[in-house]
Each structure stands twice: as structure tokens, then as C-alpha cells.
């Protein structure tokens, strides 16, 4: 329980005091270097977070910022001086090989939020940028700010959007240049950006040059992801959404792990086309091909629960009276064509098999927007309520859109869920799916880099090089 430990007197009696470290049992793997183990006194700490919550210059949801406050507090409380960095959006166009810098993707909104919440001053350095090339260098003008940071004139520095730097997504010289410059600013690196699983300069390569540690949010997420990988059974997964091609990999792995599976959205439409030979508008042939293996597997394992009442719409534009209707899946015969299937009719969730699966589950993993938002929200709202009704189950929600819809459909429940131990809202949906696909949270490149760093520094200390 660092940094405070309970003292054992004669092996029997507790003396002094103990402080709960807030973990509910699970601990990160021993190989992971932890923030709590770092010497931070008067050290400048380069802290990578995932504050990718700005849309058109405004914060869409503060959750990802709030969950990093503990790390920030821990660093400052133990004498560290923080320099924060995050990516926002995707300013680098891979096809055109251009970086576009727009105020809509600046860190300003995040900095304003942090200043309001913490009542401390953060400075955002202004660096020279070239058109389409981004920021080539960490300008030496930042040295003045580092002085102010060390002398506590300012509470922290927040670097510009990491993806504005020419070296962030580069793999060669520009990346090397950036990490040398970043490492020159700080003594210690902390990665608290669970959601940012891509191996970039600020999430991965920087660990080559600084002693590196996992932040508290990163540790929490890694511990909770084991509830998905080693769930209490029965284990139910609800997976829906728009992207069949990117979700089929994780879905195949999820299928192996679950006891029951509920599908929704385009994912379910694709599965239905493959299973019943029907045609549904908007479902791509390539997706149907991929779905056939799942259909065959499910003929044997029978894990997928069918939701037979669906909403068919003539248009994707709106939910207009007379232009959508409920269809019954059992009427499906090969070759039959449907217009857009845009939601699951809530009646489907009243069926015995569905209620039984949801109510008996001990772990429920949700990566699901059941219907086309914002018009067809009823199916999603119904299943989130149903899941909440199972008080005993560990409920794990992941996914950018999933969390956003959870918040907008049921704000009361969403805010309560943030504090309920039986709920866990992951900050990175893509990261969780990636981990499920790989089967090991410590297989993530960004996490592996921290583990490797610990080994390297331990070796150097042993050899007297440090
Ligand atoms: N039947 C449907 N047809 C078209 N779009 C749908 C359908 N059902 C759901 N969607 C859309 O799917 C989107 C959510 O799917 P997505 O796979 O992006 O979710 P997520 O995994 O939570 O998000 P992210 O990938 O951002 O982490 C929503 O925007 C919703 O409108
Ligand atoms: O919002 C997210 O999913 C994370 O911040 C990762 O963003 P990316 O997919 O652009 O790397």
C-alpha cells in the first residue's frame, strides 16, 4: 500500500494507521513499474494522459480527465513537477502525409477545465509550426517555463497536442529528435494514457530515454481488464455498433470467452444476413463473408441470443412516423430484402431467454450502441436499464460512443455508475478490444515498453551504471 503502510506490531496488533490504496483487490502485474515506486521529489515528470475529449474546441465528456486527477495529485503531493501531454483527434492525414493544426483540436479546453477544477495555473508553450509539417522542435523558449515550474510559479505545463509534433507519428529521425527533446525536459516519464494504445513517440518511444512508470489510471484499467479476460461466470457480452470489419477480430475472441452473447447494430444485421440469407440495406457483402464463420460456430455452441423484434426504417435520416416499423425476424426467409434495420425493438428484451441471460450473469461486458443514434435510441436505453437491474453483476462498459450514449440516455445512472463498485467504465474502448483480441493486457506495446524500461533500469543499477 505505498506510500503509507500499516505497521504490524508483534505480528498481531496494528499500530499507527493505514490508508486504503483504493484498489478493490486486483493488483497490477509485478513486472509493471508503478508510479508509487518512482522517486519524484523535485523531479520534473513528463505525464502522458489520454485527454482526447475535445470536439470542435469543447470538452465532450470530462470523465477521461477526471480519472487522471489521482495521478496528477500523487505526483505533486510527492514533490514532482508535472508536464502533461495528450493527443487530440487525428490531425495527421496518413494519405496526404500532412499535419493540420486547428484550434478545434488544441489542448486549451482541457487546460481551462484543469485550472477551474484544481485552481492552479498551467502554462501552454507556443511552438513554431510549419504548414502541413506540424511542430518540428520543442522550442528552447520552454526553458523559462521549466524554471517557473521548478520554482513553483506555475503548477504545471501542458504541451500542445502531441499529434501536432512532426515526430509524434514518425518512425525515423523526426521521432528520435522529438523524444530526445522531450526527455531533455524531464527526469521521469509516466504513462497514464490507457486509451492511447498506438505506439507513438509520446506513448512508446520516449520510454527508451527516461525511467518510466505506469500512472494510477493505467494501473486501474489494466486490473479491470482482467475481469473481462478472466470473468466470473456466467459471462454475458453485449456487442453492437457500426464497424463490422474492425470488430470481427475482437468479436471472435469474445465469442470464445463468453457464455452468452447479445449482438446489436450493424454487427447484428451482418450476422442475420449471413445466418438467414436475407438482405438488409447498408450491410456490406465483405462483412457477410466474415460473419459466416461465426454463424457456423454458433450452430454448435449456441451462445448468441437472438433478438427477434427489430426496427426497419425507410431512411437513415430521421425517425419519421410512417417510415419505420417493427419487423419479426422469424418471418425471414432466404432472399427476403429489408430496408435499413436501425434498432432492436425493446419488446425483444422482454423475452424470457434475454431476461434470464442478463439477470443470471455475474460479469457483463458492454460495447454496444444497439441503434442508429440519435433517432433510434430505444433499444440501447432498454438494454442499459435491464443490465442495471442485475445489481450483483460486475458491469464493464467500454467504447467511445457507448459511454457517450450511456451518459446522454441515462445521465443519472451514468453518474451513479462512476462511483458504484459494480460498474467500471473503461477510458479506452479501442484499447479494451485490442487487449481482448491479443488475450493479454501486458501484450500492449505501450505497456510492454514500461515493463522493458523497468528491466533495463534495474540492470543498469545492478551494473553500477546509475
Ligand atoms: N443499425 C445501425 N445502422 C447504422 N449505424 C448504427 C446502427 N446501430 C448503431 N449504429 C451506430 O453505431 C455507432 C456506435 O458504434 P461504434 O462501433 O462506433 O461504437 P463504440 O465502439 O462505442 O465507439 P468507438 O469505436 O468510438 O470506441 C453509433 O454512432 C450508432 O449510431
Ligand atoms: O479516443 C480514443 O479512442 C483514444 O484516445 C485513441 O485515439 P486514436 O484511435 O486516435 O489513437
Q: Are residues 200 and 295 in the same domain?
A: no
Which protein residue's CA is at the shortest distance from atom 7 of ligand 2?
A: 196
Q: Are residues 163 and 280 in the same domain?
A: no
| Placement of cell 438467414 in the chain | 276
Within a domain: 156: yes
Q: Which residues pair with 44 in a beta bridge?
A: 81
Say if CB 233 and CB 259 are below 8 A apart. Answer: yes
Within a domain: 13: no
Q: Relative to the CA of 341, which ligand 1 atom is closest?
A: 1
Starting from the CA of residue 397, give the closest ligand. 1
Q: Are residues 334 and 409 in the same domain?
A: yes
Q: Are residues 253 and 334 in the same domain?
A: yes
Say if CB 146 and CB 98 are below 8 A apart. Answer: no
Within a domain: 374: yes
Q: Strands, DSSP E only, in 139-256?
A: 156-158, 188-191, 212-214, 235-239
pLDDT at 463: 84
pLDDT at 23: 63
Of 466 and 329, the structure prediction assigns the larger pLDDT to: 329
Starting from the CA of residue 270, give the closest ligand. 1
Q: How many domains does the chain have?
A: 2
Per-residue pLDDT tens digits for 335-365: 999 999 999 999 999 999 999 999 999 999 9
Average pLDDT over residues 139-164: 97
Within a domain: 284: yes
Percent of the chain with pLDDT over 90: 85
Residue 363: φ, ψ to 5°: -135, 130
Within a domain: 364: yes
Question: Taking Cα atoms as reference points, which of 321, 363, 373 lies closest to residue 342?
Answer: 373
pTM of the model: 0.86
Q: Relative to the CA of 90, which ligand 2 atom is closest?
A: 10
Q: Are residues 216 and 257 in the same domain?
A: no
Confidence of residue 330 (pLDDT cuts 50, 70, 90): confident
151 is in which domain, residue-wise? 25-223+443-462
Q: 207: CA distance to ligand 1 center in Å? A: 34
The answer to whether residue 42 scores a pLDDT higher than 70 is yes
The answer to whether residue 244 scores a pLDDT higher than 70 is yes
CB of 155 closer than 6 angstroms to any ligand 1 atom: no
Say if CB 192 and CB 214 are below 8 A apart. Answer: yes
Within a domain: 265: yes
Per-residue pLDDT tens digits for 425-454: 999 888 999 999 889 999 999 999 999 999
pLDDT at 14: 45
Q: Which of 23-37, 122-136, 277-291, 292-306 has the lowest mean pLDDT?
A: 23-37
Within a domain: 15: no
CB of 366 closer than 6 angstroms to any ligand 1 atom: no
Q: Are residues 147 and 129 in the same domain?
A: yes
pLDDT at 8: 38
Starting from the CA of residue 163, give the closest ligand. 2
Q: Are residues 182 and 249 in the same domain?
A: no
The answer to whether residue 465 scores a pLDDT higher than 90 is no
Q: Are residues 202 and 276 in the same domain?
A: no
CB of 446 closer than 6 angstroms to any ligand 2 atom: no
Within a domain: 434: no
CATH number of the structural domain spanning residue 65 = 3.40.50.1260
Q: Are residues 284 and 336 in the same domain?
A: yes
CA angle 293/299/301 to nearest 5° reads 95
Q: Sign of the CA dihedral 96, 429, 448, 250?
A: negative
CA separation for the pair 233, 260 (Å, rounded) = 10
pLDDT at 11: 41
pLDDT at 262: 98
CA separation for the pair 149, 185 (Å, rounded) = 11
Per-residue pLDDT tens digits for 12-33: 444 455 555 656 667 899 999 9
Question: Taking Cα atoms as reference points, which of 453, 448, 441 lies closest to residue 189?
Answer: 453
Question: Taking Cα atoms as reference points, which of 356, 258, 366, 370 lies closest to residue 309?
Answer: 370
Name the burial class of residue 300, with classes exposed (0-12), middle (13-18) and buried (19+) by CB atoms within 10 angstroms of its CB: exposed
Q: Complex ipTM, two decimals?
A: 0.93
pLDDT at 318: 87
What is the C-alpha end-to-end distance of the chain, expressed in Å?
Answer: 27
Q: 59: CA distance to ligand 1 center in Å? A: 20
Which protein residue's CA is at the shortest distance from atom 16 of ligand 1?
A: 241
Give the three-class secondary structure for 8. strand
Q: Are residues 209 and 248 in the same domain?
A: no
Q: What is the largest CA-CA distance in the chain?
A: 78
Which protein residue's CA is at the shortest distance from atom 1 of ligand 2?
A: 52
Q: Relative to the CA of 429, which ligand 1 atom is closest?
A: 27
Q: Are residues 256 and 394 in the same domain?
A: yes
Say if CB 93 and CB 133 are below 8 A apart. Answer: no
Q: Are residues 217 and 280 in the same domain?
A: no
Residue 397: φ, ψ to 5°: -105, 135
Q: Relative to the CA of 268, which ligand 1 atom is closest?
A: 1
Amino acid at each position: 500500500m505505498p506510500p503509507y503502510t500499516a505497521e504490524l506490531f508483534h505480528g498481531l496488533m496494528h499500530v499507527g494507521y493505514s490508508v486504503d490504496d483504493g484498489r478493490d483487490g486486483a493488483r497490477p502485474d509485478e513486472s509493471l513499474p508503478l508510479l508509487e515506486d518512482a522517486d519524484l521529489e523535485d523531479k520534473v515528470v513528463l505525464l502522458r494522459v489520454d485527454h482526447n475529449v475535445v470536439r470542435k474546441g469543447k470538452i465532450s465528456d470530462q470523465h477521461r480527465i477526471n480519472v487522471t486527477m489521482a495521478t496528477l495529485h500523487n505526483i505533486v503531493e510527492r514533490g514532482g513537477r508535472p508536464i502533461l501531454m495528450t493527443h487530440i483527434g487525428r490531425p495527421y492525414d496518413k494519405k496526404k502525409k500532412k499535419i493540420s493544426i486547428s484550434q478545434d483540436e488544441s489542448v486549451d479546453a482541457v487546460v481551462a477545465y484543469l485550472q477551474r477544477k484544481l485552481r492552479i495555473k498551467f502554462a501552454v508553450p507556443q511552438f513554431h509550426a510549419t504548414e502541413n509539417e506540424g511542430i518540428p522542435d520543442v522550442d528552447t523558449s520552454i526553458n523559462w517555463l521549466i524554471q517557473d515550474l521548478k520554482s513553483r510559479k506555475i503548477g504545471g505545463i501542458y504541451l500542445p497536442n502531441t499529434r501536432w509534433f512532426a515526430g509524434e507519428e514518425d518512425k525515423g529521425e523526426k521521432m528520435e529528435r522529438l523524444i530526445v527533446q522531450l526527455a531533455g525536459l524531464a527526469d521521469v516519464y509516466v504513462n497514464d494514457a490507457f486509451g492511447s494504445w498506438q505506439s507513438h513517440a509520446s506513448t512508446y518511444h520516449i520510454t527508451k530515454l527516461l525511467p518510466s512508470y505506469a500512472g494510477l489510471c493505467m494501473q486501474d484499467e489494466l486490473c479491470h481488464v482482467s475481469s473481462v479476460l478472466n470473468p466470473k461466470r456466467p459471462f454475458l457480452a453485449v456487442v453492437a455498433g457500426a464497424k463490422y470489419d474492425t470488430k470481427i477480430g475482437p468479436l471472435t475472441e469474445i465469442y470464445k470467452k463468453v457464455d452468452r452473447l447479445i449482438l446489436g447494430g450493424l454487427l447484428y444485421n451482418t450476422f442475420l444476413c449471413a445466418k438467414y440469407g436475407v438482405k438488409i440495406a447498408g450491410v456490406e457483402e465483405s462483412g457477410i463473408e466474415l460473419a459466416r464463420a461465426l454463424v457456423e460456430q454458433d450452430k454448435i455452441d449456441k451462445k448468441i441470443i437472438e433478438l427477434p423484434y427489430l426496427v426497419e426504417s425507410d431512411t437513415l435520416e430521421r425517425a419519421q412516423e410512417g417510415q419505420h416499423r417493427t419487423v419479426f425476424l422469424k418471418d425471414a426467409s432466404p432472399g427476403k430484402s429489408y430496408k435499413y434495420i436501425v434498432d432492436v425493438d425493446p419488446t425483444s428484451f422482454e423475452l424470457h431467454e434475454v431476461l434470464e441471460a442478463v439477470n443470471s450473469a455475474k460479469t457483463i461486458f458492454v460495447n454496444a450502441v444497439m441503434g442508429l443514434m440519435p433517432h433510434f435510441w430505444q433499444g440501447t436505453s432498454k438494454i442499459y436499464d435491464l443490465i442495471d437491474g442485475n445489481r450483483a453483476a460486475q458491469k464493464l462498459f467500454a467504447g467511445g460512443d457507448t459511454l457517450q450514449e450511456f451518459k446522454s440516455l441515462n445521465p443519472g445512472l451514468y453518474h451513479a455508475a462512476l462511483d458504484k463498485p459494480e460498474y467500471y467504465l473503461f477510458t479506452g474502448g479501442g484499447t479494451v478490444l485490442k487487449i481482448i483480441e491479443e488475450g493479454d493486457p501486458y501484450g500492449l506495446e505501450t505497456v510492454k515498453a514500461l515493463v522493458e524500461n523497468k528491466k533495463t533500469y534495474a540492470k543498469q543499477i545492478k551494473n553500477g551504471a546509475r
